[in-house]
Amino acid sequence: MRGKSHKGFFITGTDTGVGKTFVASGLLQAFKSLGMSACPMKPVETGCKTKKEKLVPEDTLRLIRASGVDEPLDIINPFRLKHPLAPSVAAELEGITIKKNRIISAYRSLSKKYDVTLVEGAGGIMVPLYKKYLFLDLIKDLDLPLIIVSRPGLGTINHTLLTIEIAKKKGIKVLGVIINHTTIIKKGLAEKTNPQVIEKLGKVPVPGIVQYSKSKASSNDIFRIIAQKIIL
Ligand SMILES: Nc1ncnc2c1ncn2[C@@H]1O[C@H](COP(=O)(O)OP(=O)(O)OP(=O)(O)O)[C@@H](O)[C@H]1O
Ligand SMILES: [Mg+2]
């Protein structure tokens, strides 16, 4: 990493369940193994279960465990919601007001302290946080470059190019697309040809393809390669 500059990245996906948290966790550990301090942030987590009358944000906790940071939960995850819905919809149902300024100031306080801050969205880039304010707007307001996590198979060209296109139109820098295998699949022609098509038509690099892995350790190498590519 050049000097001791503080860097932030926003991790979105082409959809929910594509592996944003898995990839973010792998990258947090990779940055640490490269000698950098790394902190996660999950501005809004929906679909939280209730335990002992408290909402438990599973993604946030996974990210905290991967990074090993000791920060107040309300800074890393300012908003927790019960319903497994888009934040704007869940917040309205639960009588909670999501405020972008609380997210932005929490991000600023973390990003000042760590070499790398990784922010995970919820769902994809066009998901609303409140009213017409989308994750797309938050990424722009945070002034962060974007990493897109995509599925490997048929259909991903469309979803990935749409995500790249809307981000670029908003003036957001797209650093790359990470293709992630959430299950074991037999690789067909789509899986083999998609990375090149995405690079060519999306005009963004695919810095790595993450295979399905039962143990985190077996993905260490690919995450280290990706981390080095995106930090340069
Ligand atoms: N490369 C992988 N190898 C093995 N399991 C994976 C891999 N990627 C993701 N998974 C698993 O797939 C599931 C979905 O991944 P993950 O929770 O990271 O998705 P997400 O995009 O963060 O979802 P959400 O939109 O809910 O935040 C999880 O159970 C995760 O552990
Ligand atoms: Mg997640």
Task: Write the CATH number for 97.
Answer: 3.40.50.300
Domain count across the chain? 1
19 falls within a domain: yes
Catalytic residues: 42
161 falls within a domain: yes
The answer to whether the CB of 12 is under 6 A from ligand 1 is no
95 falls within a domain: yes
The answer to whether the CB of 13 is under 6 A from ligand 1 is yes
Nearest to 6 by CA among 35, 30, 37, 42: 37
225 falls within a domain: yes
Q: Which residues partner with 128 through β-bridges? A: 134
Say whether pLDDT at 3 is over 80. no
Give the closest residue (by CA) to ligand 1 atom 18: 19
Average pLDDT (70-95) is 98
84 falls within a domain: yes
Identify the domain containing residue 137 by its residue range.
7-231
Report the mean per-residue pLDDT for the chain: 96
Average pLDDT (70-81) is 98
Query: pLDDT tens, 102-146?
Result: 999 999 999 999 999 999 999 999 999 999 999 999 999 999 999
Distance between Cα 131 and ligand 2 center (Å): 22
> What do you get for the CA distance between the two ends of the chain, in Å?
7
1 falls within a domain: no
The answer to whether the CB of 123 is under 6 A from ligand 1 is yes
2 falls within a domain: no
Confidence grade of residue 4 (pLDDT, cut at 50, 70, 90): very low
- The pLDDT assigned to 232 comes to 81
